[in-house]
A and B are shown apart, each in its own frame.
Chain A
Amino acid sequence: MLIAPPLVYALLLLALPLCAVVLFSFWTQDFMEVDTAFTLQNYREIWDSPVYLLLLQRSVFVSGMVTLVTVTLAYPVAYYISFNVAPAKKSMWIFLITIPFWTSYLIRVFLWKVILGYNGVVNSGLVGLGIIDEPLSFLLYNVNAVIITLAHAFAPFAILPIFVALEKIDRSLLEASRDLGEGRIRTFLRVTLPLSMPGLVAAVLIVFIPTIGDYVTPELMGGAGGKLIANMIQTQFLQLNNAPLGAALALVAMVCVTAIALVFIVLNRRWLRRQV
């Protein structure tokens, strides 16, 4: 069976390790040793600690905002490429959009620091134009800076699935809608948007879930008030040497975003059914 090698690989390096994470989250760290007695202590600690809950809340908020911003900004671009660009030039546009995504992630995040920083591009531009006298200090080292940077990083992930879904729409359906007297906007809302929904949902999932696991952007852009749950997970594993608590935090974060994503899918299905 040909499927065996990739399946076995994914089972050994994904499914099995995930089971180990679940197991570890019910154990505790006892100095250098891991105490393997089953306990809910890690989860209790997360629940009782205002720090972890705050980080979790902030992370879910940031992921949600990033998803909203990314998908909203991306949809018109995908729409433009699918409906307004000549077929021969479409793949060139897609190629142009994907290029920045493949180039050194760390350096891209760092460059946002250069753009938004105290002596950065935005500030020197505004000062140079005489719009402001003093550089703005609220651009960098806060949650907004994290959201902007992540929205930039995930842009192609949102554009591609929406574009693919838009490409699949039978153009004669749009003509039919127009022929039956619907206007441009109503045709979009009642035909194009519902038909592109699978792409939109894919875009939401592919942005919302992975953003929870990024610790680079909050570390570089977030300052003290912009740290997220992924920073805490990283600290637990690599600095505090508390793998069980880190495992529990990672699972809680993962379950939170997955649950929210599922609710979104269910609500979306309901909305689609009402459209028919």
Chain B
Amino acid sequence: MSGGRILGIYAVLYLIFLYAPIVLLPIFAFNDATIIAFPLSGFSTRWFEALWGNAALGDAVGNSLFIAAMTAILSTLLGICAARAGAMADFPGKSGILGFVMLPLVLPEIIIAVSLLIVLRQVLDMQLSNWTVIAAHTLLCTPFSIAILNGAFQNLDPSIEEGAMDLGESRWGAFCSVVLPLVMPGIVSSLLIAFTISLDEFIIAFFLTGSNPTMPVYIWGLLRFPQQLPVVMALGTILVALSIVLLAIAEFYRRRGLARAGLKDSGGFL
């Protein structure tokens, strides 16, 4: 067997390892038993039905959707600023500043959570709310937005924008009518990725949620009660399906953006 074949088999095994937990999710979500273990007992949709009438879960989902939407908008706006600045002429301290803005990517999340908790509770004496989670999630998601938008902005030919300005558009007008449509796929992709990260984030949200839990914080509470676990499986199945749809759309827009800029796809969000 050639080296390439062996590597190929290994890569497929690796994918199976990556997907193993996710494949189990729908199996137990449709399993007609309270205990999450083999052997399976029979097909049932009752765990999904149990989700429907759950008001506490509904509230948590509502909170999470609001937080994720606001985070997506804010981090994408900040990402546009940073990516645009990064694509423009050098200014003093450029690489240092851009590096600092990307720092949350390599910082342990607990450090972000702890430092914001200290400032909000002990220094400012503020009440924790959805907005405190949004503030933290925006910090966390901005580097991802910048990474995605960097691709969109750096591939832009500056002469297109200069051309628009030569033809009488103002700087802002040229940005809106020429640059924005070209980077729009990157913006959509950034919105979706930030939304997905925020919707799923637990470590920071657990420190910073007020009296209204986000969905992951609510799930964390459920994990302690064995009889609730099949419901968690059902919820997880829906979430995974939703994430895959969102990511597929994000990937579609990212590729379209690359195609618009006339570039070869080098793969990956990061």
Contact = CB atoms under 8 A, between A and B. Distances in A.
B14 A77 contact: yes
A205 interface: yes
Interface string B70-114: 000000011101101110100100100110110111111111101
Contacts of B17: 152
B24 A102 contact: no
A10 B121 CA distance: 19
Contact of A243 (B7, B118, B255, B269): B118
A244 B136 CA distance: 21
B106 A205 contact: yes
Contacts of B136: 13
B78 A5 contact: yes
Contact of A108 (B21, B94, B207): B21
A121 B232 contact: no
Given A114-B28, A210-B106, A6 B18 contact: no
Interface in B1-55: 3-4, 7-8, 10-11, 14-15, 17-22, 24-25, 28, 35-39
Contacts of B232: 107, 110
B262 interface: no
B210 interface: no
B189 interface: no
A213 B24 contact: no
B138 interface: yes
A253 B110 CA distance: 11
Contacts of A137: none
Bin chain B's interface residue count.
35 or more
B122 A34 contact: yes
A108 B203 contact: no
Interface string A188-207: 00000000000000000110
Contacts of A79: 7
A14 to B, nearest CB: 6
Interface residues of A, number: 87
Main SS class of interface, B: helix
A260 interface: no
Given A6-B78, A102-B196, A160-B268, A107 B25 contact: yes
B84 A94 contact: no
Given A2-B84, A209-B108, A76 B243 contact: no
A54 interface: no
Contact of A96 (B15, B84, B97): B15
Interface string B105-134: 111111110111111011100000000000
B122 A3 contact: no
Contacts of A111: 21-22, 24-25
Interface stretch (B155-163, B180-188, B216-224): B216-224
12 contacts: A7-B101, A10-B142, A15-B100, A17-B119, A81-B11, A102-B197, A106-B220, A107-B25, A167-B267, A209-B107, A212-B108, A220-B223
The 8 closest A-B pairs by CB, nearest first: A213-B108, A17-B115, A119-B37, A213-B110, A111-B21, A3-B85, A107-B236, A91-B267
Interface of A: 1-7, 9-10, 13-18, 20-21, 24, 34, 73, 76-77, 79-81, 83-84, 87, 90-91, 93-100, 102-108, 110-112, 114-115, 117, 119-121, 124-125, 152, 155, 160-161, 163-164, 167, 184, 205-206, 209-216, 220, 230, 233-234, 237-238, 243, 246-247, 250, 253-254, 257
Given A91-B267, A107-B235, A220-B223, 4 more contacts: A3-B98, A20-B118, A20-B123, A102-B197
Interface of B: 3-4, 7-8, 10-11, 14-15, 17-22, 24-25, 28, 35-39, 77-79, 81-82, 84-86, 88, 91, 94, 97-98, 100-101, 103-112, 114-119, 121-123, 135-136, 138-139, 142, 146, 196-197, 200-203, 206-207, 216, 219-220, 223, 232-233, 235-236, 239-240, 243-244, 247, 251, 255, 264-270
